[in-house]
A and B are shown apart, each in its own frame.
Chain A
Amino acid sequence: MRRPGAGKRRERGLSRLVQVGFAVFLLAAWYVATTWGEVSHLLLPNPVNVWHQLVSILASGEFVPDLRVTLGELAIAFAIAMSLGITLGYLISRSPYAIKVFEPLFSGIFSIPIILFLPLYVLFFGLGPASKIALGATIGFFPIVLNTIAGFGNVDRVLIAAARSMGAGNLQMFRHVLMPAALPVILAGLRMGFTVALLTIIGSETIASLSGLGHRIVNLAENMDMARMFAYIAFVVVIAAFLNAVVSAVEARGRR
């Protein structure tokens, strides 16, 4: 008679094998196609070349100026979105009527692809970082304000009544009741705002920019420097994954 957990464990091991096998297969196919196959180097570079380019980029530090531009844009955009979003969200959450008026407005606007407004921002702010910051801040604002409204608006009313009955003043109420209660939801909003601002900024750099990582990738594509472009793409994907992991970890800690 088999042990009860064995079937499940075997299945889990097998699916892990499938995943690894899948990744290996893709890598192998890529290598074979570009080394011995007919695939043009102008379309798909050899993975070995890509690897060498990546190493060289990292070693020489040439990625630093572009990375600094992109991360700088992200930092400022997020700071703006966070301060505006939380402040406005808190103020609106104080009145159920205000919530009914503004919340649908904000969700409605957020459902449009805000990247559409990029040309307007470029016209107004130019091709430099300012337009990316402005657009990133605009799009990051919405999940933050919506979640802040939800967080503060849904605080258990019994808790508020209890604090009031014990004599809590407005500042005490905010610090000891509203803020801790709303924190998990607000942190989730901040994470969403961060993620969406990052994507929008990279996208904006791809479309209309003179600097930054997105611009670098486009530049390399136009020069048909495929191996290096792929290297940069890999680099950006890893950076984005890393930043998202950090932000998710912060959110998870706040939910402790």
Chain B
Amino acid sequence: MMMPPADPIVQVRHVSHQFGDEGETRHVQALQDTSLDVARGELLCLIGPSGCGKSTLLNVMGGLVAPTTGTVTVAGKPVRGPMPHDISFIFQEHALFPWNTVFENVVLGMTFQGVPRAQREERARRALEAVGLSEFAAHYPGELSGGMRQRAALARALSLETDILLMDEPFGALDEQTRMVLGEDLSVLLSQSHKTIVFVTHSLGEAVFLADRVAVFSARPGTIKEVIAVEEPHPRKPDFMTSPKFHRLRDELYSLLHGEIRKAMAETPQPRRRYGEPAPADTTGTAQ
């Protein structure tokens, strides 16, 4: 276990979260007494078996869900709701509005955040250029591939110019090759911009390739089992993936996770949820 960072930008203290009330059939303890610090400018990965609460923790960090107990502090301020000027989100389902073009989507994000009208279009153009989507600005999300949609979502998040980016399995719906390319691009981005990124993933390789530190979750009820450091400067080249250090770290992650994954798979299936209730394992921003 490593020492917590000296100047954390996000502090999670003893966060627990449950869905439903105790004693009811739909009760689920998603997180149990989780504490974590995120250093300024680092890319921290959250990894763990299905249902371990990593997405819930992300939502709690971002103010989309109020935890049952515990606190979160971001940049010195307690988190009581969404903080659009400090935190932007990227979800697994890209969450681009299908009735707007890519460009309109990016502009709309700034409209919500409160960016003055005069600045919006220019910032949108710059953000789209940074992710390589300038040519497709006038297209609708439905006309783009999965990888391009996630780039657009990234552009939208970048245009908001927040210090912190929370990403919930952003590459989960993409094929392996697109994932690798986008991962490399993300690494380049991080080295250029000094943003703090918290990144939820299932993929061991992705975690080791992208992260400065990896927080490993236990099975439900989730808590952080261990935090591993990957000491490798950004931007990371593709050949990092074939280095012995990479393999060693990957094996270490695997041995930490192995037992937890089996434990999660042995879970009894959840009862069918009724209309309007969040599925216990469905944590992509379901709270309103």
Interface string of A160-191 (1 = CB under 8 A from B): 11111111110010001100110100000000
Which A residues are CB-close (under 8 A) to B276?
Answer: 96-97, 99-100
A157 at interface, CB cutoff 8 A: yes
Report A228 CB to chain B, min CB distance, Å: 50
Bound-complex Cα distance A157 to B64 (A)? 12
Determine whether the beta carbon of B285 is less than 8 Å from that of A158. yes
Which A residues are CB-close (under 8 A) to B275?
Answer: 96, 99-100
Knowing A158-B91, A172-B112, A177-B97, the reply to whether A166 touches B84 (Cβ < 8 A) is yes
Interface string of B177-188 (1 = CB under 8 A from A): 000000000000
Knowing A166-B112, A167-B113, A172-B112, the reply to whether A161 touches B97 (Cβ < 8 A) is no
Determine whether the beta carbon of B82 is less than 8 Å from that of A165. yes
Interface string of B146-183 (1 = CB under 8 A from A): 00000000001000100000000000000000000000
Interface string of B37-79 (1 = CB under 8 A from A): 0000000000000000000000000111000000000000000
Bound-complex Cα distance A100 to B276 (A)? 10
Determine whether the beta carbon of B64 is less than 8 Å from that of A167. no
Determine whether the beta carbon of B97 is less than 8 Å from that of A166. no
B201 at interface, CB cutoff 8 A: no
Which B residues are CB-close (under 8 A) to A172?
Answer: 111-112
Report B198 CB to chain A, min CB distance, Å: 13
Determine whether the beta carbon of B64 is less than 8 Å from that of A161. yes
Chain A residues 102-144 with CB under 8 Å of chain B are none
Which B residues are CB-close (under 8 A) to A169?
Answer: 112
Determine whether the beta carbon of B91 is less than 8 Å from that of A161. yes
Chain B at the A interface: SS class: loop
Interface string of B17-49 (1 = CB under 8 A from A): 000000000000000000000000000000000
Knowing A165-B82, A166-B160, the reply to whether A159 touches B97 (Cβ < 8 A) is yes
Most B CB within 10 A of own CB, among A156, A166, A168 = A166
Determine whether the beta carbon of A165 is less than 8 Å from that of B89. yes
Determine whether the beta carbon of B288 is less than 8 Å from that of A165. no
Bound-complex Cα distance A224 to B73 (A)? 85
Determine whether the beta carbon of B111 is less than 8 Å from that of A164. no
Determine whether the beta carbon of A167 is less than 8 Å from that of B285. no
Place the interface of chain A in its size category: 20 to 34
Most A CB within 10 A of own CB, among B85, B156, B276 = B276
Place the interface of chain B in its size category: 20 to 34
Which B residues are CB-close (under 8 A) to A177?
Answer: 97
Report B19 CB to chain A, min CB distance, Å: 15
Report A154 CB to chain B, min CB distance, Å: 10
Bound-complex Cα distance A172 to B111 (A)? 9
Bound-complex Cα distance A166 to B62 (A)? 10
B114 at interface, CB cutoff 8 A: yes
Report A127 CB to chain B, min CB distance, Å: 45
Most A CB within 10 A of own CB, among B82, B100, B284 = B82
B88 at interface, CB cutoff 8 A: yes
B93 at interface, CB cutoff 8 A: yes
Determine whether the beta carbon of B95 is less than 8 Å from that of A159. yes
Determine whether the beta carbon of B109 is less than 8 Å from that of A166. yes
B286 at interface, CB cutoff 8 A: yes
Which B residues are CB-close (under 8 A) to A168?
Answer: 112
Please, which residue of chain B has its CB at the minimum distance from the CB of A167? B84
Bound-complex Cα distance A159 to B91 (A)? 10
Please, which residue of chain A has its CB at the minimum distance from the CB of B89? A165
Which A residues are CB-close (under 8 A) to B287?
Answer: 161
B230 at interface, CB cutoff 8 A: no
Which B residues are CB-close (under 8 A) to A183?
Answer: 99
Determine whether the beta carbon of B285 is less than 8 Å from that of A162. yes
Bound-complex Cα distance A183 to B275 (A)? 22
Determine whether the beta carbon of A160 is less than 8 Å from that of B88. no
Can you sample 20 A-B contacts with CB below 8 Å? A97-B276, A100-B275, A157-B288, A158-B95, A159-B97, A160-B285, A160-B288, A161-B89, A162-B285, A164-B64, A165-B62, A165-B84, A166-B84, A166-B88, A166-B160, A172-B112, A176-B111, A176-B112, A181-B97, A183-B99
Binding site for A on B (CB under 8 A): 62-64, 82, 84-85, 87-89, 91, 93, 95, 97, 99-100, 108-109, 111-114, 156, 160, 275-276, 284-288
Binding site for B on A (CB under 8 A): 96-97, 99-100, 156-169, 172, 176-177, 180-181, 183
A-B interface, 3 closest residue pairs, ranked by CB to CB distance from nearest: A161-B285, A167-B84, A96-B276
